A and B are shown apart, each in its own frame.
Chain A
Amino acid sequence: MVFSDVAKVYPLPAGDVRALDGVSFRVDRGEFISVMGPSGSGKSTLLNLMGCLDTPTEGDIWISGTRIRDMSDTELTALRRDRIGFIFQYFNLFPLLNIIENVTFPMMLKSGRGVDPERGKEVLRAVQLDEKLFTHTPTELSGGQQQRVAIARALINNPDILLCDEPTGNLDSKTGAGIMDLMTELNRNGTTIIMVTHDQNIADYSRRTIRISDGRIVP
């Protein structure tokens, strides 16, 4: 992933707000990076751009060699589905679907039809979730278990990048540490991880930290 002189401007009645200004960096395959910064620093904007939920006002972003500027909503959506795995602070599982269905949901989006639940089970085992829970609904699981399911869902389509927004923000420190150990292991097995956090202890799991302040990268 390459950011080249990226700026994001939000037009507001009181005047334009430059949430990001001249941001350039590069993330190589297999890296484990944390993005840190105080609230209002442009962290969320950066995350939205990395996640292809938004496009830059200026500059260019390449993901796996694809320039995301000028892409249609349909193309960006397909890119998110196939190349990026999202992990959220609040797990964000679908309450109407059971664990297996939650995990295989992105696979169904990709294939457009029903999928083999075995693949879902395989990934769930990889995130060390108890097999008994596979047919439960998300609300019956603890926070740590839900986050493991969310990670499994993010991994199911073999994404190029795992994008995490405060993945342990809603977990106690012990459970959080378990999740971070899992992430470290996934990274060791080749998954590229970009993690947004304001917790230095969590950021310490990563191998590189990008600090951001007032829309700019702090050198």
Chain B
Amino acid sequence: MIFWEIAKRNIRIHFLRSTLAMLGIVIGVVAIASMGILGNSMVSMVSDSLSSVGDSVIVYPYTGGGGGGFHGGSSGSTENMKITDQQFQQIKRVVAPGIAIPVHSTSERMKVGVSKDYIVASVYGVDPQYLKDLNFELTAGSLNNANSGCLVGSAFAKDNNIKVGSRISMGTDGSKGTLRVTGIIKERGMSFDISTDNAVIATQDWFEGTYNTGKYYDELVVKVKRDQDTANVKTIIEKQMNKRDKVVMVIDSKATLATIYETFGAITSFVTAIGGISMIVAGVSIFNIMMMSVNERIKEIGIMRSIGTQKKEVMSMFVYEAAIIGVIGSVVGGILSLLAGYAISALMLQSTKYLWTLSTVSSIAGGVGFGIVVCLACGIYPAWQAANLNPIDALRHE
């Protein structure tokens, strides 16, 4: 159709101007789509690295001040920074039928097998009777019962070439004795209760005997039953324990997970919205060049109208022009945003494995779609104005 041809040629003769407008759209689409890709990759990465188990409530001794993280403060061994056996018994009663599991934790130097190099890893002490409640899945071996046995996390096993039966010499020069690996725990990701991936899980008796801790625990893991709500359990514990003074800190794993996902979702929306601003700027520049295009062609529009061109045909000519710029700019932007998403993910997340997902495709499709819509929206008013010029005045225009 002739109007399509005219639109194409007009873009071609104003090549620089049109290219700059397209560049604006390209930048807008890249900003939106790559931010979307980054955000989605970030969420995927976080959800991959977090254990998705939402059935735990974790109780830490209240250390005063600002919390100190999930596992912080356990190295100071003053008794008031531990959970006492009495407190454990109280909590055990109130959370029933949920199960309260007392956990010792520390970190320790150790050597594996005949290796000369020391490594440092977390060491937990858990009563073997609770291991099945912690839902550890094993990739090899079995849950240990013997005092000198231990379980290790899969990442720890892999990094140090540990197999079932391997021996770990604990402490400097084996001062804390030797543990024999009886099982390897499947990768769980970072978890709120016990992060097993890079840890050694020994028995409670071994831990208490080796470190002389007595019945003072570093944390309690409360596994709630299906008909219990983690938020309720958290409230019950807080009510029971923190009556007069704040003595424990309670973390609801489900609510915390939800908060983390919400936060990342909000970050994604926010950075995408910032990308959106650049799209608005691009839209303004499209509007601007379309107005210029109309203004410098008023006479031509007058001639067209006077020799019998309908309003809607004049309008279509300008809409085509905006559409060509929009589609080319958006598609180029879509292609580039894949590269940009790749680069940003590689740079910021050190990983591009989350790039090839449906959410990436939808981010790009969303960016491209939004780019085209913005171009059309910004082209419609100038086109409408062109179509509705009075032919007599337009013809007289110099």
A binding-site residues for B, Cβ under 8 Å:
48, 51, 53-54, 73-74, 77-82, 84, 86, 88, 92, 94-97, 101, 105-106, 108-110, 112-114, 153-154
Please measure, in the bound complex, the distance between the C-alpha atom of A92 and the C-alpha atom of B313, giving whole angstroms: 19
Query: How far does the alpha carbon of A108 sit from the alpha carbon of B316 in the complex, in Å?
Result: 15
**B303 located at the interface, meaning its Cβ lies under 8 Å from any Cβ of chain A in the complex:** yes
CA distance A51 to B302 in the complex (A): 13
- The contact string, 1 if C-beta is below 8 Å from chain A, for chain B 373-398, is 00000000000000000011001000
Given A94-B6, A94-B300, check contact A81 B392 (CB 8 Å): no
Which residues of chain B are within 8 angstroms of A153 by Cβ–Cβ distance?
Answer: 307
Question: What residues on A are CB-neighbors of B9 within 8 Å?
Answer: 96-97
| Across-interface contacts of B313 in A (CB, < 8 A) | 109
Q: State A217–B311 Cα separation when bound (angstroms).
A: 34
Given contacts A94-B300, A109-B313, contact A81 B307 (CB under 8 A): yes
Tell me, in angstroms, the Cα distance from A92 to B301 when the chains sit together. Answer: 11
Q: Considering the chains assembled together, what is the distance between the CA atoms of A108 and B300 in angstroms?
A: 17
| Chain A residue contacts of B114, Cβ below 8 A | none
Q: Output the nearest chain A residue to B2 by Cβ-Cβ distance.
A: A108
Q: Verify if B305 is at the interface (C-beta below 8 Å from A).
A: yes
Chain B residues within an 8 Å CB radius of A78: 308, 310
Residue of A nearest to B9 (CB): A96
Interface residues of B in 1-52 (CB under 8 A from A): 1-2, 5-6, 9-10, 13
Chain A CB within 8 A of B80 CB: no
A-B contact count (CB 8 A): 66
A51–B6 CB distance below 8 A = no
Pairwise interchain contact B6-A48, C-beta atoms closer than 8 A = no
For the complex, is B309 an interface residue (Cβ under 8 Å from A)? yes
Q: Which residue of the partner chain, among B1, B6, B305, contacts A97 with CB atoms under 8 Å? A: B6
A109 touches B300 (CB 8 A): no
Is A96 in contact with B310, judged by CB distance below 8 angstroms? Answer: no
Q: Is the CB of B307 within 8 A of A96?
A: no
The reply to whether the CB of B362 lies closer than 8 angstroms to some CB of chain A is: no
Q: Could you tell me if B391 and A53 are in contact, using CB atoms closer than 8 angstroms?
A: yes
In-complex Cβ contact of B306 among A53, A74, A101 (8 A):
A53
Provided the pairs A48-B392, A94-B300 are in contact, do residues A109 and B6 lie with their beta carbons within 8 angstroms?
Answer: no
Are B303 and A53 closer than 8 Å at their CB atoms? Answer: no
Smallest CB separation, B18 vs chain A (Å): 14
Residue of B6, B306, B308, B309 with most chain A CB atoms under a 10 A cut-off:
B308
Taking Cβ atoms with an 8 Å cutoff, the residues of B that contact A are: 1-2, 5-6, 9-10, 13, 299-300, 303-311, 313, 391-392, 395
Q: Which residues of B contact A51 (CB under 8 A)?
A: 306
B306 touches A80 (CB 8 A): yes
Given contacts A53-B306, A77-B305, A94-B303, contact A105 B391 (CB under 8 A): no
- Within 8 Å CB of B392, what residues of A? 48, 53-54
Which chain A residues lie closer than 8 Å to B391 at the CB level?
Answer: 53
Residue of B nearest to A107 (CB): B2
Whether the Cβ atoms of A77 and B6 lie closer than 8 Å is no
By a CB distance below 8 angstroms, the chain B residues around A154 are 307
A-B contact pairs, 18 of them (CB 8 A): A53-B392, A54-B392, A78-B308, A80-B307, A81-B308, A81-B309, A88-B395, A92-B299, A97-B6, A101-B5, A108-B1, A109-B308, A109-B309, A110-B308, A112-B1, A113-B1, A114-B1, A154-B307
B308 partner residues in chain A, CB cutoff 8 A = 77-82, 84, 106, 109-110
Q: Which residues from B are CB-within-8-Å of A94?
A: 6, 300, 303-304
Given contacts A74-B310, A109-B313, A113-B1, contact A96 B305 (CB under 8 A): no
Which residue, B9, B307, B395, has most C-beta atoms of chain A within 10 A? B307
Distance from B50 Cβ to chain A, minimum over Cβ atoms (Å): 60
Known A-B contacts: A53-B391, A153-B307. Give 5 more (CB < 8 A).
Answer: A54-B392, A80-B307, A92-B303, A96-B13, A154-B307
Q: Report the Cα distance A153→B309, complex, angstroms.
A: 14
* Whole-angstrom distance between the Cβ of A170 and the nearest chain B Cβ: 13
Write the chain A residue with the least CB distance to B1: A113
B-side contacts of A48, CB under 8 Å: 392
Specify which chain A residues have a CB less than 8 angstroms from the CB of B304 in the assembled complex. Answer: 94
Measured in the bound complex, the distance between the Cα atoms of B305 and A78 in whole Å is 10
Q: How far is the CB of A204 from chain B (nearest CB, A)?
A: 27
A96 touches B2 (CB 8 A): no
Closest residue of chain B to A74, judged by CB?
B310
Contact of B307 among A86, A97, A112 (CB under 8 A): A86
Given contacts A53-B391, A77-B311, contact A105 B306 (CB under 8 A): no
Q: Which residues of A contact B10 (CB under 8 A)?
A: 96
